[in-house]
Each structure stands twice: as structure tokens, then as C-alpha cells.
Structure 1
């Protein structure tokens, strides 16, 4: 990489790219990792980007894939509105110390419920991580919603376009990351929410073997892939909302409107509506992805760091009067539907963990456990049983928004340490700056250690999970502390409390 105080130029497999240098970190935005083989088809697979002449300008804020306003905007803010939208946003962004050489690589996959978000959003600016962690940071876009998962007829494999997008991006990293001073043999793939789902998949799928060394899962939702039958039904329901014209001829605005109607039609009391998502496909997306012991046996990562926020689902529930004002009878009925014969046990254990439980906190804790925490427990137990080091955490820093507590996405500003990018995010507006900096350092430092050598720090400060004495790292306003972990999930590696 050739650089001076203001600009840096790299030679990539598709041509030269010019980025900017900010305080010793070279920043490259909007680098193409692929392009549609058939530009006229939304169902098209990708190929390597066409080489370009001269130097490509990689300094402008890049586009994201088309999307409607996120249902979490009331929590995260609207920072992504600064990005243009494009159906050809097959780009990634790179931050690297200008003098980087054979440094570890952190590839971050954004969340958004498979429907929204983008690696090009300033939320995920990796400058501070690259500078403090002496690593190369990459963020990536992938196709969303119907534009990524719609299938026609029996070709359900075409509903995995986002998975193949990410494989193309990781292959690009293998070909090109050395030009930024990164080590292609030391790639950690991390993600949050839907991005964590993909990071989990990539650590299991044989199609990704050799493209990553370890993974980092922030709030991974234990949601299985769609079956082929479900994928067809979802696409047919979308077509009904869209009015039935050929998929490639539906205007983007109408695609987004139709998928929004589909999501609303699937909403239920206390539930997170999930519409489009990847589909079972042999050799790519195993249907047993969340049969965690089987997935652990197939894993090709050498370590995993994963965790959740203390009250994940407040992000989806805090603004719903029917939920915040629910009765105990309504909440107990939800537990019966969610947990069957275990409902009373789970309800009582979650109530015992709070000083003053209410129907709202019970529903928050039950739904958060069902979607995010149970899978984390099971992964820790299954990986630990196979000798794969796994490091669980709970992020418990509290928002000051009434009813929000420590919601889904709360850890992200602390991970990236870029508070100005979250200036309109209600969840952190009242967090004092000293707390933001203290917790940010406490959270970033072990993650940097994990990316660098597979361990989040000295063994005595954050040891790997052990089923006999389960613990997790808890991040609070005063920093990090190890805490006993009261496991509830069968198969989590210890007898449920």
C-alpha cells in the first residue's frame, strides 16, 4: 500500500483503488467484491468485478441495498439514511493501519433481520478498531429481503443469494487483503443479529471452509433456515402482496412495500416477525444449523466468542402498548405457547432473577431467552464439549429510555467506539461520556485480543467456558466482571438450574 498523510493507493485484483488516510488509518469505501452475472436479473448470481482502468476513487460513503425504514430506528436512530440505496451495492469497506503488515483481519457482517442495514453505514465505521486493535477491519453489504431471498418455482436454492454474496466477499478478502497489510490466514468473521446468524453459518458450512479461522457472534438469533416449502410459501405470499407482476419488473418501492406488508401479517403478541431468510441447501445452508451438537461437530473454526444483551427484545417490544401493559395471564399464556411443558420452570427461574418482576419484564426475558440466549447457552455447551474454546458474555449497560433497559444493538456503539455516528440513537443518548469510553474500552479490548489470537485476554480475566462451573463475562457501567451463569437450556453442557 502506497500512502502519504492524506491518501493511500492499493493494487487489487480488479485494479488500483485510492482511499483516504485519517490519523494513520487508511480508509477505503465502496470496493466492489462482485457484480451480477446478468445485470437484468435480480435472481442473478455474482462473478468477480470487472477490472477498471486507472485509480478507482474509494473515498465516498458507499451505497447500501434497498430497504425500508428499520423497525429498530426508534432504538438505533436513522444514521443509515445518509447512504444512497442501490440494487448493485456489492461493495465492502476496509480500514487498515497505514503501516499494517500481516495483521489479523476482522470482517463484520451487519444485522437488520435479513431485511435492512448495510456494512457501508457509518454505524460500522472501523477506524477506531483498526487503530486501537492493530488489525484490518472489513465491513460488507449483502442483498436483503425479497431482493435477496425471493424464489421462483422450485428453485429454492436461489433464495440464498445473500449467503453467496458473503462467500464472494470472503473470497475477495482472501485474494486482496494482503494489499492492505492483512493476513488472509487470520480472518475472524463477526456479526450482530442477522449478521451473527451468517457468521455462525459460515463457521459451519462446508462452502466457507478455509475462508475464516474463527467467528464472533453478537446476539445470534436461534432461528432455523427456511425449509424449501417455507421458502416457496413466503415468496408466494410476497407475490400476493405485490400484485403478481414478474419479479424483475416490480419497482423497488413496491418490493419494499410488499415485504413490509408480509412482515406485518406475520406479527404476533410478544414475537419478532421474521419473513425472508436463507433456505436449506445441501452443502451450503444445512437444515440442522441449530441442531447445535451436530453443528458443533461440523464446525471449522478454532474458537468462538458470543453473547447477548441483558434485555434483547425490549428493542422490539418497548413501544407496543399491548405488550408493556400486558396482564400476567396473557404473559403466562405466551410462555405456555413458547416453552410447552417447561413453561412454568422457565417463568419461575426468570422471575427469580429479578428483584421486582412484572408481566412486561417476564415477557421481555422470556422472548429474549427464546430467540437469543438459549442458542448462546447451547453453543457454549456444545463447543465446550468438543474442546473448541468458547467465550460467552452478557452486555448489561442500561439505556435511559423508559422500558428499553439493555436492548438489542446496545453493544454496537461501544464496539466501534464511534459515538458521533450514533448521535440520534435514543438508546445511548443519555449514557455519560465517561461510561461510554470506559465500557467501550472494556468491550473492545478483549474482542481485539480474540481477533488477534483466539483469546479475549489473560485466562484469569476471561476464561473459556467450562460446563462444570459456567461463567460469562458481564459488561456493566463499571466495566467487565466475571459472573456465574445460571443456565436454563437443555443440552447447554450443564444441568439446568
Structure 2
């Protein structure tokens, strides 16, 4: 079947959005719940002085919350498609009690947010401390086309882990990743926003009790891919002291159909060469009627609604071969050209389940008839060998069989390869979130078990709408507490060591331990037989 590139890119974005849209909706519910709780608890005002002026947040006795803090000037007009510029100083006391606007994106078929979106939120413990606290900076996922820092309520991390958590927005889609010949910053404006947020942290962490010399960057999905990319960016030196990469290894690699089971689906990675990104930009400009040689001026004059017509084309357009990313991040990892900081790295056991189910709901189910065709499209002459390794008879449905192929080939084994590359030069702690009964974050139908699908670990770390959206069992809440402990202990010391929780050995060349994170009623936390379960030796032989 023939599909236009634009249709393919729209489906690619839709795959990421199948889970992140639920996160965004849960975030909105959390904001409403928080507003109701605030009016009932009557929190005290909390004023801090930043380098740009004073802000007024809220202190409820447990956590101090500051929302909607501007960290860069509005990237509009002549600043559209320019690197971010630090926020201008203001007079008086700016309100920081409500979440600010999200960056422009689509949600449920409607355009939301706006270009003036470079804001961040801060959560910090309310109790005084004699020593400066670690700072954790969160980068949200969403396929580079959706998401917002305000959707991730970090109160539990701040309170239970005794850390300061910063959740910034960054530009998305065409606004964050447009590339054109001659355009400075091409393909990396969203990444530049993340760097500007990290610079803001250096200047302002102390105002919240944070230590600018102890900053952990962490993110999931596109946020994890951005985190991994930033480890390879010369511009990030001195800004990152530790990193946590969740479902975002630099080495992720989706061969045709392993991301979405669509015949003709191109292979792709989280990053794009500058030349390919420029080609996408010029195609988008042509689609919108901009003449060759006048693309930038023409696009800057376009209203947001026009640009949204091509927005999904930029779902995987973060460009390397650029000043911020000189090398493909996967190459940089292999060659050891990355920051030598402690790293936690992992993903979920059943990454592909939500994507494959979502594709079925969109009209692209995997069937017994299409399974061999998908194999041939993805693996060519090796299709029979892969079919033999993953026979349909071993799975409850063809969709689950293909989801296992995708989870292993595109996600798990590349993540393992990335961990090995990093562990050769720095300290690495590897994990796999494996709760087979995790919240059904992407609303997979009952006939397709969600398992530990992509993004299913997020409710264990953040409050994404609370119990009305996802309820956890007592055993899952215990796991959530252990995970918050691991994540924040790593931010404190670079070692995820928590009293009362199982030991987490470092991942080394001689001992490639991957810690499985699951509730006690499923076996509890312990070493995973990771390489064997995901058939990484098979995939390594196939690619050699």
C-alpha cells in the first residue's frame, strides 16, 4: 500500500500520542484537583527572588510550588526559529501559582497552547534545610510534538526524595525542529530551549534551596532521547552532573514496521541528519506555498494555524551535524564522546504494546496474513530467521507477537547496547520497569494485554491526575515509593541506594546487571534475565 510521507509522519506522531495524550489529559485533571485542594488547605504565599525578579508561589507546609515561571523571552515574531533568549527582568512580584501555557500542539484534533510557552514549574520541599538540595530537571515525552512540564506533578519526588524538581516546557514540532539551509539553529530549537532551562537552573537553583552543582537531567521517551542527546552536546558541559534516560536510549532504532505495523513505514531513529531535516523543512515550506529561497521569511509570516498543517512532519527531526549535536548521538556513544557523568538507563518491558494496539485501532491490525509481510518488509532476507525465533504459535495473537518483536529489536536490545557503550567510560545503573499489571496508560482495549507498555512507569514517579485516572494497588504503591527512592537517591549521590530496598549493582562489562522493577506479588525487585528475555544475542548475530 502506498502512503505519502506526510501521512506516515502523522501516523508516527499518533503512535507517540497514544500514550502521551493520556498523560496530558491526566495533567489537566491534576491541575483541577490541585486547585481544589489549594483552596481547601489555604497554602501560604512563598516569595523567592530570581535573577530576573521576584515570584510568588505557594507553600502548603509539605511542598513549595512555583508554577508558570518564564525562563526565556517569547519565541515569537523575529524570535520564531531563533535560539532562546533569557527572560527580561520584571518589576514587582510575578504570580507563580498557576500553570502557564503549553507549547503549540494538537490534542484530540484541536490546536492548544501557543508560541509564548517557555515557562517552567518548580517543586521544592517546604521544610528548611542546612545543605543545598539536589536539583532534578525533567524533560517530558511526546514524540517531539506534544507534552508540557506542567502535566507532571512532582510533589512526591520533592517531598519523599528531598529534592528540587524543575519541569520546563520546550518548543515542539515545526516550532522546535524546523531546519532550512542557512537558518542558524536548524533542527535544534527545542534542544536549545532545554539547554536554556538548564542555564536558568544554574542561576536560580539556590533561590529554592537547590544546588546548581548537583543537577540531574532526566526524561522519558522524546524527553529521554533529548536527555541522551544532551549528554553528547558540547553545550551541555557544566550543566549536567547526572542523567536518567527512560525509554530514550541514543541507540533506539526502528526498522520498517517495528514502530507501527504499516507496510511501507520507513525505518527511522530518534535523530535526523541536518540534510534530512533541511529536506523536511523545505518540503513543509513548499506544502505551505512558500517560494524557494524565501522560505524563512514566508514561514515567519504564517499564522500558527497554517504551520500546524505540517507540524507532524517534525516528529523525529532533532538534527545532528549541528553546533549543538556535532555527531549522531548513537555514534557519539559508541566513540565515547559524551559527558562522563553517572547515568541511570532503562525502559519498560513491553514498550511496543501500546503502539501496536493503537495502530490496530487506527485500522492497521497485525494479522496472521500480514505478519509474514511485516517480517519481510522489516528484515528482508532474514525474515525467515526472525519468524522462526518469534513464531505466531508462541503468542496469544499476531499483534502481541509483533509487539514482542518491536519491543526486543527496536527498544530493549538497542538500550542494552547503549548501556554497554556508556558503561565502558562512566558509571551506569540499568533497569527495566516490568509491572505486567501497570496502569493502562494508553487505554489499550481489554483484548490486548497492555503489560508494562511505553510510559507505564510514569504514574509511579509523578502524579498524573491521581486515582480518578490510575489507581495503584498497595504493592504497586510500595514499588512507586521504592522507585522514587532510587531516582532521588541517585540525584543525591550518583548511586541508587535506598534503605529497605534491594541493592542495585552497577552495570559493568563483566557484570551487565539490569534491575527488574516490579511489585512483590510479581516477584519483586531483582536482577532481570534481560539479554535472554529480549533475545539480544539473536539480534546481535542478525545485524553482524
- Per the normalisation by structure 1, the TM-score is 0.84
- The number of residue pairs the alignment matches comes to 461
Correspondences of 1:219-368 after superposition (within 5 Å): 219-220=247-248, 222=252, 223-244=269-290, 246-260=298-312, 262=313, 275-291=315-331, 293-295=333-335, 297-321=336-360, 325-328=365-368, 330-340=370-380, 343-344=383-384, 346-349=386-389, 356=395, 358-368=397-407
Residues 1:31 and 2:69 aligned together: yes
Runs of 4+ residues deviating >6 angstroms: 490-496
Change beyond 3 A, Cα 1:241–1:324: closer
Retained in 2: the 8 A contact 1:41–1:248? no
Residues 1:19 and 2:57 aligned together: yes
**Aligned counterpart in structure 1 of residue 513 of structure 2, from 467, 471, 476:** 471
Cα distance in 1 between the residues matched to 2:278 and 2:86 = 29
Cα distance in 1 between the residues matched to 2:133 and 2:483 = 20
Change beyond 3 A, Cα 1:253–1:361: same
- 1:397 aligns with 436
- 2:149 aligns with 119
Change beyond 3 A, Cα 1:288–1:489: farther
- 1:196 aligns with 224
Helix, strand or coil at the partner of 1:441: helix
Helix, strand or coil at the partner of 2:525: strand
Deviations 1:16-48 (A, max 9, x none): 111001232111111111115774442122221
- 1:461 aligns with 503
Bigger relative contact order (CA 8 A; separation at least 6): 2
Moved more, 457-466 or 223-232: 457-466
How far is 1:372 from its partner?
2.2
Retained in 2: the 8 A contact 1:394–1:472? no
Residues 1:108 and 2:169 aligned together: no
How far is 1:254 from its partner?
2.6
**Aligned counterpart in structure 2 of residue 482 of structure 1, from 505, 508, 527:** 527
Cα distance in 2 between the residues matched to 1:342 and 1:22 = 59
Deviations 1:217-260 (A, max 9, x none): 11115225222221122112323443438212322223223324
Residues 1:49 and 2:94 aligned together: no
Q: Structure 1: where are the runs of 5+ without partners?
A: 72-80, 263-273
Change beyond 3 A, Cα 1:411–1:150: same
- 2:416 aligns with 377
Residues 1:445 and 2:497 aligned together: no
Helix, strand or coil at the partner of 2:114: coil
How far is 1:341 from its partner?
5.7
- 1:170 aligns with 198
Change beyond 3 A, Cα 1:394–1:345: farther
- Per the normalisation by structure 2, the TM-score is 0.77
After superposition, the CA RMSD in angstroms is 3.1
Helix, strand or coil at the partner of 1:452: helix
Helix, strand or coil at the partner of 2:358: coil
Helix, strand or coil at the partner of 2:81: coil
